[in-house]
Amino acid sequence: MSYKKIYLKPGKEESLKRFHPWIFSGAIAKVDKGVEEGDTVEVVNANNEFIAIGHSQIGSIAVRVLTFEQEEINHDFWVKRLNAAFDLRKNLGLVAGEYNNAYRLVHGEGDFLPGLVIDMYDGTAVMQAHAPGMHVARYEIVEALKEVMGEELKNVYYKSESTLPFKADLNAEDGYLYGGNAGNIATEYGLKFHADWLKGQKTGFFVDQRDNRALLEKYSKGKRVLNMFCYTGGFSFYAMRGGAELVHSVDSSGKAIDLTNKNVELNFPGDPRHKAFAEDAFKFLDNMEYGQYDLIVLDPPAFAKHKNVLRNALQGYQKLNAKAFKKIKPGGIIFTFSCSQVVSKENFRLAVFSAAAQSGRRVRIINQLTQPADHPVNIYHPEGEYLKGLVLYVE
């Protein structure tokens, strides 16, 4: 093993002894000459003793740890990590094929592959590097993925233009690294959808709401459902399968509304229960009538992407939820979410609590939701828990 070294300041290895996978720039005393953005490096303590191996990066997170063992980061390493990730998803029954073929195969730190995300859509892997090291290793990762998945893998689409730190200046180009002749219809719990990885947000679909959509389906029978911030309409087609009386989908993006209509059409062609509106969520809630809906989904984009905008974000969540509390039919149900990593479960609950109090209505929490099992949280990296949801019963 002959990686360039990064030397920690005395005593700065404490968090690493607890297997936290990030090393902040403030903990570093010295860096070997010639270490470049995305290089694999060996981290040693002030006494030159081995601590970890990881990917270096410019910024406040200076190293993302790949392993705490003295091992080579080579083909076998990637195969080992990807195998472990694939095994978990097989165990969860997500790789079955006909009933479900959309799932997250790699969830960054949660799969001990910090900075790497891979979502699977019927044999097409959509791969995103959030850290330069994963960008540098992308071809090796694809080779390992081919070995691990065999015939299950038909295409790999690399999509990191917008996820890599812009300072890195890596000129990442989106495109196929394997295959390229991909259809884009996948199946989630028996329902079909288009995953538009070429033009859509993130990897093309939000697989993290799968289990929460399934819960909504159970509560939808005979209900008038409003799916706010619908994007691809995920919650809408589950509500329809659950027997909703009507489903209205709202998103400010015209493209999202087109996607929603297409996805509803795939599953329920010509079904008159569904309507989609390209409108601002806040305005739509202001204009709707009291009692018009008895099930409302609020799944907005992350209101806070950084700690310094946390206060504004919490006010945003409060404002949004207050509007739904004010208008929902008595005996109604609200599914409300936050996907901002910097908003804690407690803070989110406080924002929703304030909104409820403002409405003066009697509100109870009936379910507490989070991300599904294919988005595991590394127990040493609690920051990996990002999706929070509450299901509320409003009288």
Among the listed ranges 48-56, 95-103, 117-125, 274-282, the one in contact with ligand SAH (CB under 6 A) is 274-282
User: Where do we find the tokens 């791969």?
Assistant: 127
Nearer CB in complex with ligand SAH: 83/253: 253
User: Where do we find the tokens 């694999």?
Assistant: 40
The distance of closest approach from Cβ of residue 206 to ligand SAH in the complex, given in angstroms and rounded to an integer, is 4
Among the listed ranges 79-87, 153-161, 232-240, 304-312, the one in contact with ligand SAH (CB under 6 A) is 232-240
Start-to-end CA span in the chain (Å): 64
Burial category of 190 from C-beta neighbours within 10 Å (exposed 0-12, middle 13-18, buried 19 and up): exposed
204 binds ligand SAH (CB under 6 A): no
DSSP-assigned letters across all residues of 299-340 = -PPPS-SSGGGHHHHHHHHHHHHHHHHHHSPTTEEEEEEE--
Among the listed ranges 109-117, 160-168, 174-182, 297-305, the one in contact with ligand SAH (CB under 6 A) is 297-305
Residues β-bridged to residue 75: none
Quick check: 114 and 55 in contact, CB under 8 A? Answer: yes
Residues β-bridged to residue 298: 228, 336
Site map 233..272 versus ligand SAH, x via CB under 6 A:
-xx---------------xxx--x----------------
How far is residue 239's CA from residue 217's CA, in Å, rounded to a whole number?
Answer: 5
Nearer CB in complex with ligand SAH: 129/216: 216
- Planar angle of CA 357, 363, 367, nearest 5 degrees: 125
The distance of closest approach from Cβ of residue 155 to ligand SAH in the complex, given in angstroms and rounded to an integer, is 22
Nearer CB in complex with ligand SAH: 77/293: 293
How far is residue 338's CA from residue 314's CA, in Å, rounded to a whole number?
Answer: 10
Nearer CB in complex with ligand SAH: 83/261: 261
Nearer CB in complex with ligand SAH: 44/322: 322
229 binds ligand SAH (CB under 6 A): yes
Which is it for strands 224-228 and 246-251: parallel, antiparallel or unpaired? parallel
Residue 264: closest CA among 249, 277, 279, 250:
249
How far is residue 282's CA from residue 160's CA, in Å, rounded to a whole number?
Answer: 31
The distance of closest approach from Cβ of residue 372 to ligand SAH in the complex, given in angstroms and rounded to an integer, is 12
Positions annotated as catalytic residues are 339
Q: By rule CB under 6 A, what count of residues binds ligand SAH?
A: 18
232 binds ligand SAH (CB under 6 A): yes
209 binds ligand SAH (CB under 6 A): yes
**Helices 254-267 and 234-241, interaxial angle, to 10°?**
30
369 binds ligand SAH (CB under 6 A): no
Among the listed ranges 98-106, 139-147, 225-233, 306-314, the one in contact with ligand SAH (CB under 6 A) is 225-233
Element (DSSP H or E) covering residue 15: helix 14-17
206 binds ligand SAH (CB under 6 A): yes
- Given the rule CB under 6 A, which residues bind ligand SAH? 206, 209, 229-232, 234-235, 251-253, 256, 280-282, 299-301
